[in-house]
């Protein structure tokens, strides 16, 4: 027993061993919140206060859930697979699969990822002849998700004006369409399971009774519906153990509500508010930088972190003339760290926007340094994989029209747009799926559709007895996908990816405890040992039942593809540099961290200026970034950067100016004070021969209302960026880059410029 509690400080120990009441652990980054949460689970189990089935733990990513399970099994021998540890989406999926009938879903419902959701909405607008300039698909998606995350069905939303009335109407049509096609989007997973528990008293009481301990990590990022869901699931005798850090709340744009922390204290009558203030992750300089930075925010619950570790290395900061030079510098430093013996996977390069990763990837690739990108275009989002998945979905659930439309004419089988329109019309008229409507289409189109239906049916018959990897292999071949990419010029990579899909399936089966040999399509469950067992819903509800007893291997794998697999794309285990956005670095830690692109407009992001509290959210994001580092922290920015096809002329981020001087070491000549005045001399450090030369501007021009780097608007030339200023007072002239109109030197007392 003692061993699991041995390495805790007194506050952590108090938190781990709290009595069974709801509690809030409010603590800064690296103070051991996640560790406390995991240790508490082990402690509850070990002291016999609860059995594994009485515990539910919510983590922010599937990766975090896996890690928690593996740490748990070190502390305590648990049947990990059956435990309810996962993300909100993962846990809701589990509820819905178990109670699909009560939730009014087909057993093999498919999950729409965000890309699928967007195309579903586009299709909806098209079939209803809606002008998508007036009602842009993305706005509708946002509207729907926002409504769902607030707990509203279309019938609950009261439109304020005609525009909203139309949006609500479309939302309602979207609901019907998804229901018909047996698909649910991410927000629906939550809303549907919330409604299931709310309406069904027996089920609700069962789970309330079962889950005595609900533990939630990263609580600051829960949205309103997730909070309501937790409230519903917690019975009178349950306790919720929430850990979080208001300073790390970075998902307000997705509806997360830090206010939940305050509501939680009231709603659950929280007597135990524990603060952890000792940081175990970062060396002193890094921690001091984080503390000083976040102190610029006003809206805080307030706390400070200290560490027993020494100051450590200073934070190294570099101003590069261009983004290419920035990468060059990162490469030098990375090589240096590797020579010192640091593992590549202990080094993370963080950026604010995905678009920044391209140059970094290019640099790493050219230098032959293995790397892994989190986020970005994920394996399961690639076109060829989406096609393969669509075939698999059709075999799993023929009513899935989105899947149908994706592959009905891919590879090309001479089925034209006309035929498809015709088919959609028939499906609408008879209120059936596209698949079922095929016999109603006549003519040449009908014949082509007929062979498609026969193809799918014959594949479906053929794969009945097959295990998942063989099934996938067969589908890849019989669908014609393999052949298609074999003949395509640039198809080699895509073929390789398709083959990886088969390996991904094998890995998935073994990780999730499915039998490798079990037929992938069977509906009755099979235990990991391979014997058949038909479990009743009651049995499933009462026990720690692994997913393999609730879903067929194929359904489970498809769920995995939509929900889980996106978090990383390279093989685990390989020693590779880690590239990711700051958002996806949450909760992680690395020996060395590079925060790149610290430029006004990029980080803080320009959009943040337009939103209430936007800048504070950006600063929290910077706080998250800094606190990922254990030993080394590197900051960088570039005076010029190509982004989205435009050259940007930058000034350094205000966040750089907000960091304490004494923690930093400038690797390029130090700038004069604030981010508004980053005057500099060209540096000798960069080998300019290898990178394109840029005019190096970025100084704040005194006595002028204009600023280098600023975007301005000219009546005739449109938008441009000031890249140089000369003269004083009434004689100021500006060199302005007007994009396709080229560079102009304008006398500002004559030219009528406006600030953008």
Q: In the complex, which residues of this chain contact ligand ATP (CB under 6 A)?
A: 7-9, 12, 27, 29-35, 245, 248, 280-281, 587, 589, 627
Q: What residues form the annotated binding site?
A: 27-34
From the list 34, 98, 177, 578, the catalytic residue is 34
Please say if 628 is a catalytic residue. Answer: yes
CB atoms within 10 A of CB 407: 22
Alpha-carbon distances of 316 from 107, 187, 668, rounded to whole Å: 55, 42, 10
Q: Which letter does DSSP use for residue 410 in this model?
A: S
Q: In angstroms, what is the minimal distance from the CB of 224 to ligand ATP?
A: 22
Please say if 34 is a catalytic residue. Answer: yes
CA–CA separation, 504 and 658 (whole Å): 45
Q: Which is nearer to Mg ion, 113 or 221 (CB)?
A: 221
Q: Which is nearer to ligand ATP, 99 or 619 (CB)?
A: 619
Helix (H, G, I), strand (E, B) or coil at 436: helix
- Which partner in Mg ion, ligand ATP, none is near 223 (CB below 5 to 8 A by kind)? none
CA–CA separation, 471 and 460 (whole Å): 9
8 Å CB contact between 191 and 216? no
What's the token pair of residue 704?
């002028």
Q: Between residue 31 and residue 50, which ones bind Mg ion under the rule CB under 5 A? A: 33-34
Q: What residues form the annotated binding site for ATP?
A: 27-34
Q: In angstroms, what is the minimal distance from the CB of 142 to ligand ATP?
A: 29
Q: Which is nearer to Mg ion, 182 or 587 (CB)?
A: 587
CA–CA separation, 544 and 591 (whole Å): 37
Count of CA atoms in the C-beta half-sphere (13 A) of 638: 27
Q: Which is nearer to Mg ion, 587 or 697 (CB)?
A: 587
Please say if 195 is a catalytic residue. Answer: no
Q: In angstroms, what is the minimal distance from the CB of 239 to ligand ATP?
A: 20
Pairing outcome for strands 213-216 and 315-322 = unpaired
Q: Which is nearer to ligand ATP, 275 or 460 (CB)?
A: 275
- Which partner in ligand ATP, Mg ion, none is near 35 (CB below 5 to 8 A by kind)? ligand ATP
From the list 39, 98, 248, 265, the catalytic residue is 248
- Which partner in Mg ion, ligand ATP, none is near 8 (CB below 5 to 8 A by kind)? ligand ATP
Q: Which is nearer to ligand ATP, 217 or 333 (CB)?
A: 217
Please say if 116 is a catalytic residue. Answer: no
From the list 217, 247, 288, 319, the catalytic residue is 217
What's the token pair of residue 260?
């939940």
Q: In angstroms, what is the minimal distance from the CB of 555 to Mg ion?
A: 31
**DSSP per residue over 106-122, as a string?**
-TT-EEE-HHHHHHHHH
Enumerate the β-bridge partners of residue 714: 718, 753
Burial environment of residue 160 by CB neighbours within 10 A (0 to 12, 13 to 18, 19 or more): exposed
Q: In angstroms, what is the minimal distance from the CB of 217 to Mg ion?
A: 6
8 Å CB contact between 55 and 84? yes
Q: Which is nearer to ligand ATP, 267 or 589 (CB)?
A: 589
CB atoms within 10 A of CB 163: 12
Q: In angstroms, what is the minimal distance from the CB of 279 to ligand ATP?
A: 8
CA–CA separation, 549 and 97 (whole Å): 10
Q: In angstroms, what is the minimal distance from the CB of 436 to ligand ATP?
A: 49
Residue closest to Mg ion, measured at CB: 34
**Conformation bin of residue 35: beta by default, left when phi > 0, alpha when psi is -120 to 50:** alpha
- Which partner in Mg ion, ligand ATP, none is near 406 (CB below 5 to 8 A by kind)? none
Closest by CA to 221, choosing from 242, 247, 250, is 250
What residues contact 569, with CB distance under 8 A and at least 6 apart? 372, 373, 374, 376, 378, 379
CA–CA separation, 310 and 1 (whole Å): 32
Q: In angstroms, what is the minimal distance from the CB of 683 to ligand ATP?
A: 34
8 Å CB contact between 422 and 441? yes
Q: Which is nearer to ligand ATP, 35 or 213 (CB)?
A: 35
Q: In angstroms, what is the minimal distance from the CB of 17 to ligand ATP?
A: 14
Residue carrying structure tokens 């995991």 = 38
- CA angle, 448 as apex, 442 and 451 as ends, to 5°? 110
**DSSP per residue over 477-489, as a string?**
HHTTHHHHHHHST
Q: Which is nearer to ligand ATP, 35 or 97 (CB)?
A: 35
8 Å CB contact between 339 and 653? no
What residues contact 738, with CB distance under 8 A and at least 6 apart? 714, 717, 718, 719, 720, 744
8 Å CB contact between 720 and 711? yes
From the list 218, 564, 600, 618, the catalytic residue is 218
Q: Which letter does DSSP use for residue 711 in this model?
A: E
Please say if 559 is a catalytic residue. Answer: no
Enumerate the β-bridge partners of residue 318: 636
110-136 exposure pattern, b = at least 16 Cβ within 10 A, e = fewer: bbbbeebbbebbbbbbeeeebeeeebe
Q: Which is nearer to ligand ATP, 9 or 172 (CB)?
A: 9
Question: With binding defined as CB under 5 A, does residue 244 bind Mg ion?
Answer: no
From the list 33, 35, 148, 654, the catalytic residue is 33
- Which partner in Mg ion, ligand ATP, none is near 22 (CB below 5 to 8 A by kind)? none
Interface pattern 572-611 for Mg ion (x via CB under 5 A): ---------------x------------------------
Closest by CA to 636, choosing from 388, 363, 450, 389, is 363
8 Å CB contact between 308 and 278? yes
- Which partner in ligand ATP, Mg ion, none is near 95 (CB below 5 to 8 A by kind)? none
CA–CA separation, 12 and 17 (whole Å): 9
From the list 192, 281, 378, 628, the catalytic residue is 628
Q: In angstroms, what is the minimal distance from the CB of 290 to ligand ATP?
A: 11
Residue carrying structure tokens 């309406």 = 199
Q: Which stretch binds Mg ion (CB under 5 A): 26-34, 256-264, 381-389, 566-574?
A: 26-34
Q: In angstroms, what is the minimal distance from the CB of 8 to ligand ATP?
A: 5
Q: Which is nearer to ligand ATP, 12 or 265 (CB)?
A: 12
Please say if 47 is a catalytic residue. Answer: no
CA–CA separation, 437 and 414 (whole Å): 18
Instruction: Tell me the residue length of the chain.
Output: 756
Please identify every residue annotated as catalytic: 33-34, 217-218, 248, 628
Report the interface residues with Mg ion, using CB under 5 A: 33-34, 587
């Amino acid at each position: 027993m003692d061993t699991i509690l041995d390495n805790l400080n007194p506050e952590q120990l108090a938190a781990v061993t709290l009595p069974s009441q709801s509690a809030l652990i409010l603590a800064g980054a690296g103070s051991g919140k996640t560790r406390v949460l995991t240790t508490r689970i082990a402690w509850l189990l070990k002291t016999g206060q609860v059995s594994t089935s009485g515990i539910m733990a919510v983590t922010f990513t599937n990766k975090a859930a896996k890690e928690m399970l593996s740490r748990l099994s070190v502390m305590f021998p648990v049947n990990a697979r059956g435990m309810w540890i996962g993300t909100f989406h993962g846990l809701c999926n589990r509820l819905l699969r178990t109670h699909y009938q009560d939730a009014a879903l087909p057993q093999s419902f498919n999950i729409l990822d965000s890309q699928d959701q967007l195309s579903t909405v586009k299709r909806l607008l098209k079939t209803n002849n809606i002008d998508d300039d007036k009602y842009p698909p993305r706005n509708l998606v946002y509207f729907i998700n926002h409504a769902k995350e607030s707990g509203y069905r279309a019938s609950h939303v009261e439109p304020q004006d005609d525009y909203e009335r139309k949006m609500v109407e479309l939302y309602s049509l979207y609901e019907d369409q998804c229901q018909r096609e047996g698909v649910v989007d991410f927000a629906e997973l939550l809303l549907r399971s919330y409604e299931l528990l709310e309406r069904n008293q027996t089920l609700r009481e069962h789970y309330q009774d079962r889950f005595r301990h609900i533990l939630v990590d990263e609580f600051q990022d829960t949205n309103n519906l997730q909070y309501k869901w937790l409230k519903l699931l917690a019975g009178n005798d349950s306790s919720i153990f929430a850990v979080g850090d208001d300073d790390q709340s970075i998902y307000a744009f997705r509806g997360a509500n830090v206010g939940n922390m305050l509501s939680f204290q009231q709603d659950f009558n929280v007597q135990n508010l524990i603060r952890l203030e000792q940081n175990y992750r970062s060396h002193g300089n890094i921690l001091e930088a984080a503390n000083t930075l976040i102190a610029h925010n006003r809206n805080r619950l307030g706390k400070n972190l200290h560490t027993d570790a020494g100051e450590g290395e200073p934070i190294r900061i570099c101003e590069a003339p261009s983004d290419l030079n920035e990468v060059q510098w990162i490469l030098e430093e990375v090589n240096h760290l590797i020579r010192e013996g640091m593992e590549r996977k202990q080094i993370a390069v963080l950026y604010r926007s995905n678009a920044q990763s391209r140059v970094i990837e290019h640099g790493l690739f050219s230098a032959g340094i293995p790397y892994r990108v989190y986020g970005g275009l994920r394996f399961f989002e690639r076109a060829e994989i989406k096609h393969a998945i669509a075939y698999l979905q059709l075999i799993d659930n023929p009513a899935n029209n989105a899947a149908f439309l994706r592959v009905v004419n891919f590879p090309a089988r001479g089925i034209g747009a006309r035929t498809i329109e015709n088919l959609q019309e028939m499906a609408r008229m008879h209120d059936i799926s596209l698949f079922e409507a095929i016999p109603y289409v006549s003519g040449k189109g009908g014949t082509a559709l007929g062979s498609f239906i026969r193809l799918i049916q014959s594949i479906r018959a053929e794969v009945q007895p097959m295990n998942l990897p063989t099934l996938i292999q067969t589908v890849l071949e019989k669908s014609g996908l393999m052949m298609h990419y074999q003949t395509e010029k640039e198809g080699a990579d895509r073929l390789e990816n398709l083959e990886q899909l088969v390996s991904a399936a094998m890995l998935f089966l073994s990780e999730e405890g499915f039998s490798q040999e079990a037929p992938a399509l069977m509906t009755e469950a099979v235990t990991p040992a391979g014997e058949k067992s038909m479990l009743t819903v009651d049995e499933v509800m009462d026990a720690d039942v692994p997913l393999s007893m609730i879903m067929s291997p194929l359904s489970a794998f498809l769920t995995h593809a939509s929900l889980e697999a996106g978090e990383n794309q390279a093989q685990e285990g390989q020693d590779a540099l880690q590239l990711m956005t700051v958002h996806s670095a949450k909760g992680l830690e690395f020996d060395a961290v590079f925060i790149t692109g610290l430029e006004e407009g990029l980080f803080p992001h320009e959009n943040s200026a337009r939103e209430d509290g936007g800048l504070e959210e950006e600063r929290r994001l910077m706080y998250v970034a800094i606190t990922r580092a254990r030993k080394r922290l590197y900051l960088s920015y570039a005076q010029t950067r190509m982004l989205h096809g435009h050259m940007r002329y930058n000034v350094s981020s205000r966040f750089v100016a907000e960091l304490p001087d004494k923690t930093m070491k400038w690797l390029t000549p130090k700038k004069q004070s604030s981010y508004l005045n980053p005057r500099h001399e060209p540096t000798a450090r960069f080998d300019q021969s290898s990178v394109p030369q840029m005019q190096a501007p970025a100084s704040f021009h005194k006595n002028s209302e204009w600023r280098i780097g600023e975007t301005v608007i000219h009546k005739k030339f449109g938008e441009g960026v000031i890249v140089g200023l000369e003269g004083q007072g009434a004689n100021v002239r500006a060199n302005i880059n007007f994009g396709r109109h080229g560079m102009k030197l304008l006398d500002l007392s004559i030219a009528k410029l406006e600030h953008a």
